[in-house]
Amino acid sequence: MQARRTVLHTLVGPYVLDAVTGQEQADFERHLQACEQCRGDVRGLREAAARLAAAAAVAPRLALREPTIAAADRIRQLPPLVASERSARRPGWRGAADRLRLPGSGVPQLRRPWLASLAAVVVTALAATAIVFGVHVSVMQGRMSAMERRDSAIAAILGAHDATTLTAQVRSGGTATVVMSHRARALVFTAAGLPKLPASKAYELWIMSRAGATAAGMLPPDYKGMSGPVVVRRLTPGGMLGLTIEPSTGTGQPTSAPVVMVALGG
Amino acid sequence: MVGGKPSGEGELRPGAGAGGGHGEAQGLESVLAEVAKGDHAAFRAVYDQTAAAVLGIVRRVLRDPAQSEEVMQEVLLEVWRSAARFDASAGSANAWIMMLAHRRAVDRVRSEERAAARELRATVAVIEYDEVSDAALATLEQERVRRCLGGLTDLQRQSVTLAYYGGHSYREVAQLLGVAVGTVKTRMRDGLIRLRDCLGVE
């Protein structure tokens, strides 16, 4: 045990430089919780690292300033942690970056989805979506923030370290957005601008694979043009997410062709 | 050290931005406390004080100017969103923001590298150090960091800059430099300690 601790302690430098990855990073952070001296070391060295950032400063284009500041208007702020939560959190600033890790993350890492240009957008905070996908997403985001308070599952997926955002055009009109965490084997689905349906019809989500289709939830009626969010869990590798138009009572199997299909990778 | 400051009151960080440089951290803690309450003017002040350093470090890591601008905006908005979670006992506001920036840039690089074929950019080792001062923005702060980096051994400096500016993991750095991983780990730590002492970080 002592030897292991010593080994972990030598990671102080790499850790401050964000040069420790994967399990080792998790191990070190656990170690940090128990090691007052390490936390002190990290604190001091981090100040030094921040000066390296300052030394690289490049004035941003003026045109970026106002849109960025204005975008804050559309983003709900996280509440402070009250004492009981704080003690349950990791030490330091880990929580602020919202890298929630889900239990059962020993699931093998699946391959990245193929939507090449969008696949790499890592959403570690809701803030990212507003910028990448524009204003209509910010409405969704407002709803997501509201949901976030009710449903920690959504927050956990959006905040997952490996969260990936995919968007796809819906054949009948509108845009579907999927934020997925392979590790959590779960995703959050939302859509913008879907055509309105008569009361007898509704949009329904399916997980589709060679084995067939499994119902993954009905979309609630849209709100300001936004549908969802709906959480889909227990994803398996190689599946597709499909959206169909069905009787509003729901069906056991899809009865119409999907208006959008999203490959989930793996 | 900032340790245990209860109220988040303004704090003067000696040495920071003596030349009116970017990344100046004067009073950033108190400004951040206002941001946490939803104060847009305070957010503007945070932007003005940190955006250049955030963009700088993100661009160092990502290289792509357009993508870097996007990430810079994401980082600033993350600061807005998480301001109430800033914990002054864990360090200065400036260090917190730079940590968010660096992590996000590195996350972006690593997710892309996993998706694409891995390419080890061996050339960074050579150019990073000399590039530290961007002519257009040469400030006293930059000169100081540059001088302090010059005081590190070659191996310390390369280990630190390949990881921080290059966004490489320590194992990659070891491979790039052709040294044992254990050596790289200690050089990173020793290099940062020497840098900290030279820069007069509290």
The ipTM value here is: 0.78
Is residue A101 predicted with pLDDT exceeding 80? Answer: no
- CB half-sphere exposure, B82, CA atoms < 13 A: 25
Mean pLDDT of A182-192: 84
Structure tokens at B92: 């200065």
For residue A109, what is the nearest residue in chain B, using CA coordinates? B114
- Residues A153 and A188: beta-carbon distance below 8 Å: no
User: How does the average pLDDT of chain B come out, rounded?
Assistant: 78
Distance separating alpha carbons of residues A195 and A222, to the nearest angstrom: 10
Element (H, E) at A133: helix A127-133
Q: Quick one: residue A229, left, alpha or beta (phi over 0 = left, psi -120 to 50 = alpha)?
A: beta
Considering only CB atoms, B160 lies closest to which of A17, A40, A81, namely A17
User: pLDDT-based confidence at B26, cuts 50/70/90?
Assistant: very low
Model confidence at A4, pLDDT cuts 50, 70, 90, reads: low
Give A-chain residues touching B192 at CB under 8 angstroms. 13, 16-17, 45, 48-49
Let me know how long chain A is. Answer: 266
Q: What is the pLDDT of residues A228-261, one digit of tens each?
A: 788 888 887 778 889 999 988 878 888 888 898 8
The pLDDT tens digits for B136-177 are 344 667 788 888 999 999 999 999 999 999 999 999 999 999
Say yes or no for a CB contact (<8 Å) between A46 and B91: yes
| Residues in A 183-222 with any Cβ partner in B closer than 8 A | none
Q: Where is A247: in which H helix or E strand?
A: strand A240-247
> CB neighbours (10 Å) of residue A80?
14
Residue A175, pLDDT score:
83
pLDDT band at residue B133, thresholds of 50, 70 and 90?
very low
Question: Which of A171 and B162 is assigned the larger pLDDT?
Answer: B162
Neighbours of B169 (CB within 10 A): 24
pLDDT computed for residue B192 by the predictor? 96
Contact A48 B201 (CB under 8 A): yes
Q: Tokens in use for A165?
A: 């955002």
Compute the distance between CA of residue A204 and CA of residue A251 in angstroms, rounded to an integer: 9
Q: What is the pLDDT of residue A6?
A: 58
Residue A46, token pair as written in the block: 């981090």
What's the rounded mean pLDDT across residues A104-128?
28
Measured between CB atoms, which of B137, B173, B201 is closest to A47? B201
Q: How far is CA A228 from CA A143, A153, A221, B52, in A?
A: 9, 14, 8, 37
Q: How confident is the model at residue A177 (pLDDT cuts 50, 70, 90)?
A: confident
Q: CA quadruple A42, A47, A53, A55: dihedral positive or negative?
A: negative
Q: Are B155 and B183 in contact (CB under 8 A)?
A: yes
Inter-chain contact A71–B73, Cβ cutoff 8 Å?
yes
- Give the confidence band of B22 by pLDDT, cuts at 50, 70, 90: very low
Q: pTM of the full predicted structure?
A: 0.56
Q: What is the reported pLDDT for A266?
A: 55
Judge: A51–B59 Cβ closer than 8 Å, yes or no. Answer: no
pLDDT digits (tens, 9 = 90+) for B42-70: 999 999 999 999 999 999 999 888 889 99
Is a pLDDT exceeding 50 seen at residue B129?
A: no
CA-based nearest distance B178→chain A, Å: 17
| Closest by Cβ to B57, choosing from A19, A40, A53 | A53
**Does the beta-carbon distance from B111 to A112 stay under 8 Å?**
yes
Mutate one of B111, B133, B158, B161 to test the A interface: name it (highest A CB count within 10 A): B111
Of B52, B82, B92, the CB nearest to A78: B82
Task: Chain B: give the shortest CA distance to residue A2, in Å.
Answer: 17
What was the pLDDT predicted at A137? 41
pLDDT over 90 (residue B113): no
pLDDT value of position A14: 97
pLDDT tens across A9-57, in order? 889 999 999 999 988 999 999 998 888 888 999 999 999 999 999 888 8
Nearest CA in chain B to A77: B81
